Amino acid sequence: MPTKCFTEIDLLTFECPNDRGQAFLWDTEVNGLGVRTTPRGSKAFIFQGRIGKKTVRKTIGRVDDLSIAEARTRALELRVRVDCESELTLLPGKGNASEVVESGQGGVQPLTIGQLWTYYSEQGQPKRRIGHWRNSSFSPGYIDDLKRMVLPGGERKKRGSGQLKPGPLSPLTSLAIEDLDEFTLREWYLDQCKRSHAQATRALVMLRGFLRWCVVKPEFHAAAVKAMKASKSLVMSAQQPARRSFTNVIQPSELPAWWAAVLDLPDKKVSVFLRALVMTGRHSQAMRNLRWKDVRLGWGDEAYFSCHLYRSRSGLLTEEFVRLIESLPRDSEFIFSGRGKSGRMPDPRYSLKKAFENARLEPRPLGALRRTFIMLSEMAGLPSSAITQYSLVPPPGTREQKTWLRRPVLRAHICHMESTLKKILRVKSLV
């Protein structure tokens, strides 16, 4: 079957061969939307889908009466209804070419946010990604968060007693995009803030991402633009909390006591892991996912590991870090292994809290270790491009993207930072 992204010229030039009773042209933008023509020249938009083992088909309207955007809107509505097997009945006696009719309602009702949310979780893309991430889909963890946001609740908890609470966005799932105005969003937001201010703000950010996805769709553009303005209006902005700035770090005067407490931890892998976070500034999840097969151990410029987190670059390994991980046993594919099903090291936050208690310091989260690395790098005079490149975090601006340092230059910067850390700790080696 011929497929093409519909344009006005395609519809005008599409014809049916004389030896056939009808011909079809299918759209690549909306699955199931097509144009049917006959030898007499009559053309109509149609929708075709499957319910169970049966093929269903409906005539949407004549090509002369509907625009392509209107046809796509109606086809998408029918697509959702076929997938949900709701408000659709099959006329008897039609076999595999049955017609689709709506039950009860005379016209096609607008799609709700809950119906479109599934398509958004499957087809949506991250907003700010660079390199090879630009055209990728959402991560599995973020897709799970999207599903939890619209859960109706009432189900039994898998852990503990009681029932699951509705997701923050569940009150909006029954509304259409046209129903989202600033007063509706404000009432919803204030109601969700009573449960959790942070979760309400996160839900609002996810809703804006959903509306941003709808803006680029011609069939939802007008309503999505209006709803996006409502979500960013002054009425909504006045209700949102100020963005927190995390400044908790391990001060240079506290580092010797904390370092000694980490060395005394009974679990050697956790001790190496926490020290590695301060030495590299990398995220804890990325460090836990580090595998032996991705690492090429050596000395000088030969020590590096393959990393696909950012532009598929290879991460640098210094001599101190190589000696640190070489002291670990190779009992799993992961460098920081554990006894669980995943094979990775479990959450080290308990051991981190214990280290702070033994050092008689105020407990701090895992993110403080990365901020400590940034503080040490700034004390050593490292440029921001070297900090982001070594920690394998996507750079915040275009200037850091264009100033990608070569490996010998980056190694010199990081070795200078490590020497600064040794002076603070008053040690000759970090292992």
Mean pLDDT of 138-166: 82
| Same structural domain, 283 and 391 | yes
| Same structural domain, 261 and 366 | yes
Residue 104 in this model has a pLDDT that exceeds 70: no
Q: What's the whole-model pTM score?
A: 0.54
pLDDT of residue 296: 72
Tokens of 243: 């963005």
Residue 303 in this model has a pLDDT that exceeds 60: no
Task: Please give the residue range of the domain that contains residue 415.
Answer: 255-425
| Same structural domain, 88 and 130 | no
Name the residue with higher pLDDT: 361 or 162. Answer: 361
pLDDT of residue 305: 54
Name the residue with higher pLDDT: 177 or 238. Answer: 177
| Same structural domain, 298 and 411 | yes
Q: Which DSSP state fits 108?
A: P
Q: Is residue 242 part of a domain?
A: no
Distance CA 212, CA 225 (A): 8
Task: Give the number of domains in the chain.
Answer: 3
Q: Is residue 392 part of a domain?
A: yes
Lowest-pLDDT choice from 57-61, 242-246, 322-326, 378-382: 242-246
Residue 258 in this model has a pLDDT that exceeds 90: yes
Mean pLDDT of 358-374: 91
Distances (CA, A) of 288 to 60, 270, 340, 343, 390: 53, 11, 13, 10, 17
Lowest-pLDDT choice from 1-10, 185-194, 269-278: 1-10
Mean pLDDT, all residues of the chain: 78
| Same structural domain, 348 and 270 | yes
Strongest mean pLDDT among 100-109, 125-134, 418-427: 418-427
| Same structural domain, 389 and 363 | yes
pLDDT of residue 354: 93
| Same structural domain, 281 and 402 | yes
| Same structural domain, 219 and 359 | no
| Same structural domain, 277 and 348 | yes
Q: pLDDT exceeding 90 applies to what percent of the chain?
A: 15
pLDDT of residue 101: 36
| Same structural domain, 262 and 392 | yes
Mean pLDDT of 336-361: 89
Q: Is residue 163 part of a domain?
A: yes
Q: Is residue 247 part of a domain?
A: no
pLDDT of residue 290: 83
Residue 102 in this model has a pLDDT that exceeds 70: no
What sign does the dihedral 379-382-385-389 (CA atoms) show?
A: negative
For residue 216, the Cα-to-chain-centroid distance in whole angstroms is 18
Name the residue with higher pLDDT: 368 or 83. Answer: 368
Mean pLDDT of 315-334: 83
Q: Is residue 322 part of a domain?
A: yes
Mean pLDDT of 286-311: 62
In the structure, what pLDDT confidence band is assigned to residue 369 with cuts at 50, 70 and 90?
Answer: very high
Q: Are 125 and 136 in contact (CB under 8 A)?
A: yes
Tokens of 118: 């599934």
Residue 357 in this model has a pLDDT that exceeds 90: yes
Q: Is residue 378 part of a domain?
A: yes
| Same structural domain, 267 and 133 | no
CB within 8 Å of 102: residues ≥ 6 apart: 87, 88, 108
| Same structural domain, 46 and 193 | no
**129 HSE (CA, 13 A, CB side):** 16
